Amino acid sequence: MSEPKEITIALAGNPNCGKSSLFNLLTGAHQKVGNFPGVTVEKHEGYLDYKGHRIRVVDLPGTYSLTPYSPEEIVTRKFLIEEPPDLVIDVLEGANLERNLLLTTQLMEMEVDFLVALNMIDEVEEKGIVIDIKQLQKLLGCHIVPTSAKKKSGIESLLDHVLRVSSHAIEIRKNKLFFRPELEAWVERIAGLLANQKELGTYNCRWLAIKLLESDREAYQEVQRYPVWVKVELALQDALREAERLHDADPEVLITEDRHAFIRGAIQECVRYPGARQATATDYIDRVVLNRVLGLPIFLLVVWGIFQLTFTLGSPVMEGLGFLFRLVASTLRPLLPSEMLRSIVIDGIIAGVGGVLVFIPNIVLLFIGLSFLEASGYMARAAFVIDRVMHRFGLHGKSFMPMITGFGCSIPAIMATRTLKSRTDRLVTIMIIPFMSCGAKLPVYVLLTGAFFAPAVAANVMFGIYLLGILVGLWTAWLLKSTVLKSDSEPFVMELPPYRWPTLASVLFQAKVKAVMYLKKAGTLILSAVILIWGVSNYPRSAELDTRLAAGTAQINASNLGQAEKDARKGELQLTIKSQQLEYSLAGRTGKVIEPLIRPLGFDWRIGIALVTGLAAKEVVVSTIGTIYSLGRSEKSSGDLKAILRSDPAFSRATALSLMVFVLLYLPCVAAIGLMKREVGRWKPVLLYSLYSLSVAWVLSFVVYRLALMVQ
């Protein structure tokens, strides 16, 4: 018997509908994470074997519609058109059908094969909501399977439906969503024109006609490539004139009205809510966290608590990893006979990459905290609370979500600004995102606060650094909106999902994704950077210094000193020559050129090297410090980077604070700068921003350094 073909299903649904929990439940550990082609939106895929069938599951980004405004909407729609799965599972939140059905109506318009997973059915029953599933199936033209990812119920029934549909044991009727008569006439006219264009064979002509009437930019770009556009454009102009004459509105508004009319009718016919609505736990919590006076302090307290937990729980594990790397270094040192090999492995790779990897516990804990806030529904409330503050600085409330994303990585955060309709709001948000402390900056903060502050104080210092980035970002937004980018921000409307206790698997999965990305970066970019840094820190070598080392070692060996005293003096001589060789190297010479510019900030030439290499990725600042400072140490004292920094006369608590501020505010990584240029469209604004960020970083670091010197 031949092997059954692989079945591909795609999970689509609104944010907070339980789609990711369902994905995790279906695929378990058989998951992989990447990016959709050409964009930084995460693509989650997984596999499961069920009743002799191999099922590939693609978790599409959470989206409210298929209108291509945000990256999530764009990639979801492109996937459904260009890589159509065998079946789409539309995940609906049972207690919020009216909101969720908007995406369903657009799947109906695309005429894709889809099932509905009526998720969170346990919450529906708890709230006393009654849903006539049979009648709703008739209206939507698809099968509906009640599920609860939280209670793990309905999963087998859902998979059975998938197998039955894929084997054509049951048919999907595919109801069309019909609009008012005049709209239908315009749709049919344009669809008829498109049907004659053979090159559009992969598109559903009716769906494409609806999108053109909605002024969908992607649809316009597609059809404008063909001769039929001349006739289509005339038809669209006729439809626009008729819509204005008959309804004083454009076709896009009428289509939206008809979709919502269908949804309201379906809800009226198929859903019964309990008579008197009782206040829920969500209502009681919102009375506190959304309070005008208490909302912002509570948000700051929650974030502060996450930092405290990150340091309190992460420090012991981090110290354990640090001990492990020191043990590996001390074990390998006598096993590597070649001094060059010993230097590159111990002083380069272990000191550089190991110095970054020890911070994984803190990074994982921080992302567990942020994932918990997002999955629980609190992050949406935080956006609502922060909106009041942001409007005072001329920012749109929706800018908060890209800013929050910026705490993970600036690149997806900059991409997320596409959800902002106003170009000025988008530009301002792009310019302030690099001031948010991305995950790549976290190792720098953890290293320096751990070296110069007690754990409880270190968490407060790091919280202050994150807060400083937000304040500088808001001040920058006010400056831009008051001068070169004047405009009024749109009002902010955001859905507030009910509070839910996130599943442990979902939260841990999100943290695992971030940790794996961090490890991949450590194994590729950071490792490459460390080897390069080791090379430029060791070469060119001074023949004069090598001669002095050989002569000095021979003189000590020929002396009448005891063996212990000889070893001590040779160690001191080697340390002196190492330090001088480092200054003679290409890295040392580069650092010396930079040093006059950064000396007022408390930085020497070694920190200057780290700041330059940090433009590749901010984690490289730590790996550079680890490599550079290890090269200037004796074998006995190397290993514990925190101890090395504490004992270095050029490093102090004031230097650490100044360096954290500078790393927070100076230029983002080159990848983020390139993306900024692509989103802005020109180099001039990006170069002006770069000059501005360097100036702000220098001034604030100078102020922090001088104040810290006064109080330390």
Mind listing the pLDDT tens digit for each residue in 418-429?
666 677 888 888
Q: Which of 36-45, 51-60, 160-169, 269-278 has the lowest mean pLDDT?
A: 36-45
Identify the pLDDT of residue 33. 53
Q: In the predicted model, is pLDDT for residue 15 greater than 60?
A: yes
Q: In the predicted model, is pLDDT for residue 555 greater than 80?
A: yes
Identify the pLDDT of residue 698. 95
Quickly state the pLDDT bin for 1 (edges 50, 70, 90): very low
Quickly state the pLDDT bin for 524 (edges 50, 70, 90): low
pTM metric for this prediction: 0.59
Mean pLDDT, to the nearest integer, of 561-570? 79
| Residue 41 or residue 387, greater confidence | 387
Identify the pLDDT of residue 144. 92
Cα distances (Å, whole numbers) of residue 10 to 58, 509, 654: 5, 19, 53
Rg for the chain, CA atoms, rounded = 30
Mean pLDDT, to the nearest integer, of 375-394? 76
How buried is residue 375: exposed, middle or buried, by Cβ count under 10 Å (0-12/13-18/19+)?
buried
Contact 675, 414 (CB under 8 A): yes
Dist. CA 243–CA 237, nearest whole Å: 10
Mean pLDDT, to the nearest integer, of 24-37? 65
Dist. CA 81–CA 77, nearest whole Å: 6
Dist. CA 565–CA 532, nearest whole Å: 36
Dist. CA 697–CA 664, nearest whole Å: 8
Cα distances (Å, whole numbers) of residue 501 to 21, 301, 376, 393, 436: 12, 20, 6, 34, 28
Identify the pLDDT of residue 353. 66
Q: In the predicted model, is pLDDT for residue 147 greater than 90?
A: yes
pLDDT tens-place string over residues 282-337: 778 888 888 878 888 888 888 888 877 877 787 788 778 777 877 887 788 778 77
Quickly state the pLDDT bin for 339 (edges 50, 70, 90): low
Mean pLDDT, to the nearest integer, of 124-139? 88
Identify the pLDDT of residue 521. 61
- Domains of the chain and any CATH numbers: 7-166 (3.40.50.300), 181-272 (1.10.287.1770)
Quickly state the pLDDT bin for 2 (edges 50, 70, 90): very low
All residues at 6 or more sequence positions from 471 whose CB lies less than 8 Å from its CB, including other chains? none
| Torsion (CA) 568, 574, 576, 582 in degrees, nearest 10 | -150
Q: In the predicted model, is pLDDT for residue 692 greater than 90?
A: yes
Identify the pLDDT of residue 35. 47
Identify the pLDDT of residue 156. 92
Residue type, 89: I
